[in-house]
A and B are shown apart, each in its own frame.
Chain A
């Protein structure tokens, strides 16, 4: 709806009604409107009090112990067990979410209650610290609504994070009596420790009917793909211990196992690995001889050596994460925090947030059967990749494991992405660490596609008042075989373009666009009249390019449609004395820019220049009446990561950058200004995107000893 509105307001309201003899009616309506307005104004004087008074509700200061108590009768209904065939389209009511312009689901949280059974015994702990943090995070997020009628997703405040801390039947009864329960439709439960002895089910045992489960430790048999969300087991240790990020690189141990309470069979296998590979493998266990007062959970031992946990994790390249009684292990979070690459050995385990996270980039998954081969498998991973995995592991922890807030928001975002798939967060946004997001480029024209020659190009000539020279340019350019249309951008508001009859007669359509303001950016506007992909930007004084040169330029552009392909090349240099960038127009062996006084490029870049230019560059260029070409070079290089292509030998262009008068002093100020532009743009882009290359493009047979008449582009480089 939001984006559709732009379409309608272009019509504008119909203003003055035509009146004839019905003025009497108008009088009456007019006065009644005025009267009504005045009454309404008066009414509001009294109303607002009731509106403002509600704002006192925002922050509640109460104790957890004061929450209302709800007694559950023994025969109150119990929901059905979870339905394994549930999917979003069968068990989820999308109509509650509706279409909304922000594409955000609305989440409601039930208020906190204390549940007791018939005898007044508590059903569970009221709420744990972590669950309280989680609900607080949801409440503070954009997803939250306090209006139960507008909600799409409901989160009960009944804490089921740890199944061992609750009574199953009674908890289920408590769920069933929630006001909007309705068989659990659109309800979301968070559970990290599912199952109980002896067989430890891999999903929460509390009957929950159609409710979605965000669970830690799902197996492939209990996880309903596309319905449930697999979440990590939060490690409260991470809030206590600060492990600063450690740069990637070799560490003291190659493989480390730090878990306590491993099954003896696993321990034997690990010890065999240690015996085989010596000191690079370290298998730790709990300490038996600690003095009193030292928390056992913060120490690990190997023989008599004592290690600090979790600090020791930072000493190893790979850290083993084995399944215990459950599949999900809190140690995974500690390992990631330490920037240690987890080696996950837990058959059938659904990794946390696996719907969106690419764990292959941050971990190694090894089938339990292959445990004895672990060492050789890990040895085969290239060092560069290990470093990347270390960075990636740490980033996953920071973004998705670090706090209950991170876990809650990632879960909601995943559900949100399912409901509004066309606005979903992309793979890159989920998975690329900030450093990669920063340094990577995603070329908007990534498909290797050579546009058909028949499409041709549109020449766009920016002109102010040099009519004679303009006409010569038009005549010259019109000789190029692949020209399909010529567009003159008339940038002079004080003077009308010449009459139709005075324009040169050419074989392709010629259109004149008059601009509202004399701005340089008018040259790069994505005019509807440009119907081809290729645009040739050409100044109204570039008459020295031959038809062969222009046609060849177009052919080169077809092979590099995502680049700027132009004639005069320029270079940027780092001035070590001044410690800043410098603009260079001399005869150099390198180029990093081409001037848009004569250059081919894709029309898409017009769109980018006009609507997506970073910072204030566009306005700055218009205000300074200079450097629009440098800005375009920056833009294209930044978005594609590629260099420009300079075509054909250098020609004596009539100082294409200066406008009117030649002269040394002017030339120098011009160079200073252009250098300023480069420095300005580099600071706005936050980087120097321009790429320096040593090559230019010539026809295959250029300057070859070959009959000229057999060459496709004989007239290249003539002066």
Chain B
């Protein structure tokens, strides 16, 4: 037996060896048969006389470009107005730009009429507009009008369907054929065809609708919005669900779907096919037939088995444990799945042919979703398997960014819609696609400030820019004396001693006029004095005098040394999008009272840096003044406090990151007890500038101030809809800070003095 085995094996080997020896060359040929054929393909001929061919147009013809047309440009534009209407509306023909030029981009919402049903969702949309900085109560200065009639649900069979919309609209004196109106719509059409019909004539109005079909969508005019549920939060909104970025993406499932399938009618084709890609391992695609009342009538052979499988998996579990999520069309093109997947960092795989994706005018969906084709469902598994792990990680992060920037609340969806329309009015003052698709997102980037990337704190790395290596010292003076106080003189001296200081700007916020220029100290850097109003929010006004990227914000009584300034600036250069400063405070959740607490005591954490001594980018002045609604600034001015909290909250909301504390310095003033209000904090701990209440029952000025700031913090958190502040547990010191090495070797020895 053994020998026979060996014998056979040997023959086998020998014969194969022989075959390869003689036939190898031929086999080789055989293997490359197709490649050789490709080489020998027939390409486009190189004509012998190709140099003699005539050009497609004579140079003269190209440069003169035809005869002057019959209509003059003005006449042509006038003629357009009558030709390109309704389904062919464009901004040029259906929108009255002149309305927006007079008063800027102002939005007017029709007053609510009594007895008119308004759904919860629509009232959220209306209140988002009212919260917007563009809102106006005066129709005559408005550029854009929003109806008070609920047009969200235009499905005749729905309970929210509002009747006689057409009559109601036409009875309004402001309607004007729908010109400059914006109409929101989530559901249109009805069973069985679910076409786009609204049940009324929108005229020249812009439609902001979900489930837009690319064929009826008027590009550059309509806005596609996402379908969002009734319980979508008004503001703030939940963050994304991505907690970790791992490569390769370690999720349990590759691709999942769980949802209804329609047994008949529009949209059933795609959903009925989904079970084909289910493999029970890493691809889970489950459908149920249970849909509507009479599903059993249409029941097919798969239904019973499908329904059993369907119950075996939990939707939430699939959603949060899968890398890709199929988002197929429903009856309409858009579905709730889209936002759910986006939030869960499950990369949406869209199977919805002809869907004009939400905000596609601004958002580059190719970076966050896989746009599949309904017809090529069976290729989806291999296509997503082939996506590189790095790309998957980038996709996941982009879903989170987009969710947080544009979709997580009704406010964001509505404001994005408004900003997209606003960008069209002044194309030269609008956001490029890059700004929409990179952090922190289009809503936080004001094209009025600049259209150049290098002027913002966010894009330095993107384009290899760096912030200018100079700063402006911006001092707010409030003292009521005639002569300049000692602290401000010392401060000007210390700051102007820094090699990075380009200019000093003093904001004079007193009633008395500033001292004449002769009284100011002579320094090597130019000094500008601005007469300000006596408002606290003024200190963050985008004054034209501030020329550098970096601003060093100071109070007149701040004490800083030149080397502290130098060191802090060198740190800021590494973190130009954050606030970098000296004294800090922190917030915490006060579980007992169910509200946010605030403390300036020494703690192991920090979440705010006092703007009495801090570096930040000058763009934040613009954001503070132009992005925030006037109400918040009024709050600050009214309380005459907490402008620094608002600034910290704003920057944290933009960056999602904590501020940076530098050096040991805990207070910005010299001596604690200069003001009567300064009490003592916890025993043995020097208190900060706004110390904690002296004790129970002690209603000192300091205590009042603290509770004021605490209230302020809570009001801000309420307006933002969440608490944007982020805590940090570190501070940055010079590399050799307090190290056992000669002082002579240290660059910032003076920072070590206690």
List of A residues within 8 angstroms of B250 by Cβ: 531
B174 at the interface (CB under 8 A from A): no
Report if A65-B432 is in contact (Cβ < 8 Å); known contacts: A94-B376, A388-B452, A422-B384: no
A6-42 contacts to B (CB < 8 Å): 16, 19, 23, 26-27, 30-31, 33-34, 37-38, 40-41
A58 touches B354 (CB 8 A): no
B67 lies within 8 A of chain A by Cβ? yes
A197: chain B residues within 8 A (beta carbon) = 66-67
**Given A130-B55, A139-B44, A695-B570: A440 and B97 interface contact (C-beta under 8 Å):** no
Known interface pairs A34-B18, A54-B40, A422-B387; A440-B88 also in contact (CB < 8 Å) = no
A643 to B735, CA, bound (A): 14
Tell whether, in the assembled complex, residue B72 and residue A265 are in contact, meaning their CB atoms are under 8 Å apart. yes
Evaluate contact between A365 and B428: CB separation under 8 angstroms.
yes
Residue contact B732 to A89, C-beta cutoff 8 Å:
no
How distant is the Cα of A381 from the Cα of B429 in the complex, in angstroms? Answer: 9
CB distance from A646 to the nearest CB of B (A): 7
Quick check: B354 and A89 within 8 Å, CB to CB? yes
Residues of A within 8 A of B54 (CB): 125, 128-129
If A330-B63, A347-B92, A587-B741 touch, whether A699 touches B736 (CB-CB below 8 Å) is: no
In the complex, what's the smallest C-beta–C-beta distance from A112 to chain B, in angstroms?
7
Residues of chain A within 8 A (CB-CB) of B737 are 649, 696, 698
Residues on the A chain within 8 Å of B48, using CB: 61-63
Is B53 touching A127 in the complex (CB atoms < 8 A)? Answer: yes
Instruction: Report yes or no: B243 in contact with A452, Cβ–Cβ below 8 A.
Output: yes
Q: Are A427 and B434 in contact (CB under 8 A)?
A: yes
Find residues 63-78 in chain B having any chain A CB closer than 8 Å to their own CB: 63-70, 72-74, 77
A347 in contact with B461 (CB, 8 Å): no
Mark the stretch among B296-304, B486-494, B603-611, B616-624 that contacts chain A: B603-611
**Restricting to B653-672, which residues have a CB under 8 Å from any CB of A?**
655-658, 661-662, 664, 666
B383 (CB) vs chain A CBs: closest residue: A422
- Cβ of A237 and Cβ of B65 under 8 Å apart? no
Interface size class of chain A, counting residues whose CB lies under 8 Å from the partner chain: 35 or more
Among the listed A3, A44, A146, which residue makes an inter-chain contact with B29, where contact means beta carbons less than 8 Å apart? A44
Nearest chain A CB to B323 CB, angstrom units: 13
Which of chain A's residues has its CB closest to B12's CB? A30
| Closest chain A residue, CB of each to CB of B62 | A330
A707 to B376, CA, bound (A): 67
One digit per residue, 1 when the CB lies within 8 angstroms of any chain B CB and 0 when it does not, for chain A 83-110 equals 0010111100011000101000000010
B747 to chain A, nearest CB (A): 4
Name A4's contact: one of B72, B385, B656, B734 (CB within 8 Å): B385
B676 within 8 A of A: no
**Complex: chain A residue closest to B352, CB-CB:** A89
Whether a CB of chain A sits under 8 angstroms from the CB of B393 is yes
Contact of A64 among B49, B220, B754 (CB under 8 A): B49
Residues of A within 8 A of B462 (CB): 440-442
Partner of A58, one of B42, B59, B728: B42
User: How far is A569 from B41 in the complex, measured between Cα atoms in Å?
Assistant: 60
A421 at interface by CB-CB < 8 Å: yes
- List A128-175 residues whose CB lies under 8 Å from chain B: 128-132, 135-136, 138-140, 144-147, 159, 161-162, 164-165
The CA of A385 and the CA of B451, in the complex, are separated in Å by 8
Q: CA–CA, A618 to B376, complex, Å?
A: 41
Is residue B733 contacting chain A, with contact meaning CB distance below 8 A? yes
Identity of the chain B residue whose Cβ is nearest the Cβ of A695 in the assembled complex: B732
Does A248 have its Cβ within 8 Å of any Cβ on chain B? no
Q: Which of B719-754 contact A (CB under 8 A)?
A: 726, 728-741, 745-748, 754
Is B711's CB within 8 Å of the partner chain A?
no
Whether A502 is near chain B, meaning CB under 8 Å from some CB there, is no
Bits for B337-376, please: 1 = Cβ < 8 Å to A, else 0: 0000000000000000110000000001011001111111
Interface check A684, CB cutoff 8 A: no
* Contact B60 A296, beta carbon cutoff 8 Å: yes
Task: Give the distance to chain A from B232, nearest Cβ to Cβ, in Å.
Answer: 22
Task: Please indicate the chain B residues that have their CB under 8 angstroms from the CB of A61 in the complex.
Answer: 45-46, 48
Q: Are A324 and B437 in contact (CB under 8 A)?
A: no
Could you give, for residues 191-210 of chain B, a 1 whenever the CB lies within 8 Å of some chain A CB and a 0 otherwise?
A: 00000000000000000000
Can you name the residue of chain B whose Cβ is closest to the Cβ of A650?
Answer: B739
- The stretch from A366-374, A514-522, A659-667 touching chain B is A366-374
The residue in chain A whose Cβ has the minimal distance to the Cβ of B221 is A220
Pair B15/A30 contact, Cβ less than 8 Å: yes
Whether A377 and B247, one on each chain, are in contact in the complex, defined by CB atoms closer than 8 angstroms, is no
Name B463's contact: one of A58, A440, A451, A717 (CB within 8 Å): A440
Per-position binary interface string of chain B over residues 17-32, scored 1 when its CB falls under 8 Å from any chain A CB and 0 otherwise: 0110011001001100
Contact status of A198 and B439, CB under 8 A, knowing A59-B46, A591-B735, A699-B730: no
- A220-B219, A440-B464, A448-B656 are known contacts. Are A695 and B8 too (CB-CB below 8 A)? no
Complex contacts, B353 vs chain A, CB 8 Å: 89-90
Chain B residues numbered 428-470 whose CB sits less than 8 Å from any CB in chain A: 428-434, 437, 439, 450-452, 454-455, 461-464
Q: Given that A382-B455, A427-B367, A447-B245 are known contacts, is A697 also in contact with B730, CB under 8 Å in the complex?
A: yes
Q: Are A695 and B393 in contact (CB under 8 A)?
A: no
Q: At the interface with chain A, which of B111-119, B394-402, B689-697?
A: B394-402
Contact in complex: B428, A261 (CB < 8 Å): no
Least CB separation from B423: chain A residue: A360
Say whether B15 contacts A33, CB under 8 Å. yes
**Neighbouring A residues of B371 by C-beta, 8 Å:** 421-422
Q: Mark B213-233, 1 if CB is under 8 A from A, else 0.
A: 011000110000000000000
A-B contacts at CB below 8 angstroms, number:
447
B481 close to chain A: CB less than 8 A: no
* A358 adjacent to B432 (CB under 8 Å): yes
Say yes or no: is B674 at the interface (Cβ < 8 Å to chain A): no
Known A-B contacts A358-B434, A443-B461, A706-B685; A696 and B50 likewise in contact (beta carbons under 8 Å): no
B602 at the interface (CB under 8 A from A): yes
Distance A27 CA – B11 CA, assembled complex (angstroms): 9
CA–CA, A479 to B187, complex, Å? 58
Contact B734 A695 (CB under 8 A): yes
Judged by a CB distance under 8 angstroms, whether B390 is at the interface is yes
Judge whether B382 and A4 touch: CB under 8 Å. yes
Asked whether B37 is an interface residue with its Cβ less than 8 Å from the other chain, the reply is yes
B394 closest partner in A (C-beta): A444
- B563-579 interface bits toward A, Cβ cutoff 8 Å, 1 = contact, 0 = none: 00001001100100000
* Chain B positions within 8 Å of A426 at CB level: 366-367
Cβ contacts under 8 Å, A203 to chain B: none
B536 to chain A, nearest CB (A): 28
A263, B73: Cβ atoms closer than 8 Å: yes
Point out which of B33, B68, B454, B584 has the most chain A C-beta atoms below 10 A from its C-beta: B68
Q: A131-B56, A326-B66, A436-B463 are in contact. Are A698 and B394 (CB under 8 A)?
A: no
Q: Is the CB of A38 within 8 A of B746?
A: no
> B336 near A: Cβ within 8 Å?
no
What is the 8 Å Cβ interface bit string for chain A, positions 412-427, against chain B (1 contact, 0 not)?
A: 0000010001101011
Contact partner, B451, options A41, A139, A198, A381, Cβ 8 Å: A381
User: Which residues on the A side are within 8 Å of B455 (C-beta)?
Assistant: 382, 384
* Shortest CB distance A426–B (Å): 7
Whether the pair B47, A63 counts as a contact (CB closer than 8 A) is: yes
Measured CB to CB, the closest approach of chain B to A423, in angstroms, equals 8
Q: Which residues of A contact B15 (CB under 8 A)?
A: 30-31, 33-34, 37
Q: With A94-B375, A452-B243, A555-B729 known to touch, is A112 a contact of B62 (CB < 8 Å)? A: no
Contacts A/B (CB < 8 Å), 20 sampled: A60-B45, A89-B375, A135-B44, A140-B44, A162-B56, A261-B66, A263-B69, A360-B433, A364-B428, A366-B427, A381-B451, A440-B464, A444-B394, A447-B401, A533-B245, A533-B246, A559-B657, A607-B248, A650-B741, A694-B735
8 closest A-B pairs by beta carbon, nearest first, are: A439-B464, A325-B66, A139-B44, A324-B65, A89-B353, A60-B45, A41-B23, A385-B452
Given contacts A140-B43, A438-B464, A642-B461, 14 further A-B contacts (CB under 8 A): A30-B11, A62-B47, A63-B47, A139-B43, A220-B219, A225-B219, A235-B62, A360-B431, A368-B73, A451-B243, A559-B658, A559-B729, A603-B247, A604-B393
